[in-house]
C-alpha cells in the first residue's frame, strides 16, 4: 500500500490522513485564494473523498465560487490555519492546502488556475500550464 498523505493545522487539533494519490494539484490565483492565503495564490491537492479520514472539529466558512456553487473552507478554530475545502457540487472530492501536509515536498502542482487574476509580483513556475479560470473537468 502507498504511504498515505498526512497533515493538519499548526497546533495539531485537526489532522487528516488520505489514502491514494491526488486527482488534481494546482496553484490558484483567484481573489478568494489570495485573500485566504494572504499572498498571491493558494496551493492545493485534491483527492477522492473516500480515502480521507479527518480528526478534530474544523470551523467552516462557506462561500460561493465563480461557478455559483458553494465551497466550504475548513479551518482550525484554535490556531486559525486553513486546512481543507469541500464543494457542495462535488461531494466526492476533498481538497487540502499543500502547506498543511506533514511532507509538503510531496506536493507536485500540475497547473495554475485563475491565472487571469494573478499579480506580477506572484511569480509561479513558468513551465506549469496556465488557465485563465478553472479548466474544464
Question: Is 86 a domain residue?
Answer: yes
Q: Is the pLDDT of residue 101 over 90?
A: yes
pLDDT the model gives residue 1: 55
Question: Is 119 a domain residue?
Answer: no
Question: What average pLDDT is seen over the chain?
Answer: 94
Question: Is 126 a domain residue?
Answer: no
CATH code assigned at 54: 2.170.150.70
Number of domains in the chain: 1
Task: Print the domain residue range for 90.
Answer: 5-27+42-106
pLDDT the model gives residue 65: 79
pLDDT the model gives residue 61: 92
Question: Is 16 a domain residue?
Answer: yes
Q: Is the pLDDT of residue 120 over 70?
A: yes
CA distance readout (Å), 115 to 69, 93, 98, 135: 20, 23, 18, 11
Q: d(Cα 50, Cα 20) in Å, to the nearest integer?
A: 9
Cα distance between the two ends of the chain: 28
Amino acid at each position: 500500500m502507498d504511504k498515505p498523505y498526512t497533515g493538519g493545522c499548526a497546533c495539531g487539533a485537526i489532522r487528516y490522513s488520505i489514502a491514494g494519490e491526488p486527482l488534481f494539484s494546482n496553484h490558484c490565483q483567484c481573489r478568494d485564494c489570495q485573500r485566504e492565503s494572504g499572498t498571491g495564490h493558494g496551493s492545493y491537492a485534491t483527492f477522492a473523498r473516500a480515502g480521507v479520514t479527518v480528526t478534530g472539529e474544523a470551523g467552516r466558512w462557506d462561500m460561493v465560487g465563480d461557478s455559483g456553487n458553494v465551497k466550504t473552507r475548513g479551518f482550525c478554530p484554535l490556531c486559525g490555519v486553513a486546512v481543507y475545502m469541500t464543494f457542495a457540487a462535488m461531494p466526492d472530492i476533498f481538497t487540502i492546502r499543500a502547506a498543511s501536509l506533514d511532507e509538503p515536498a510531496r506536493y507536485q502542482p500540475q497547473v495554475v488556475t485563475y491565472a487571469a487574476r494573478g499579480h506580477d509580483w506572484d511569480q509561479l513556475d513558468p513551465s506549469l500550464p496556465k488557465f485563465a479560470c478553472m479548466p474544464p473537468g
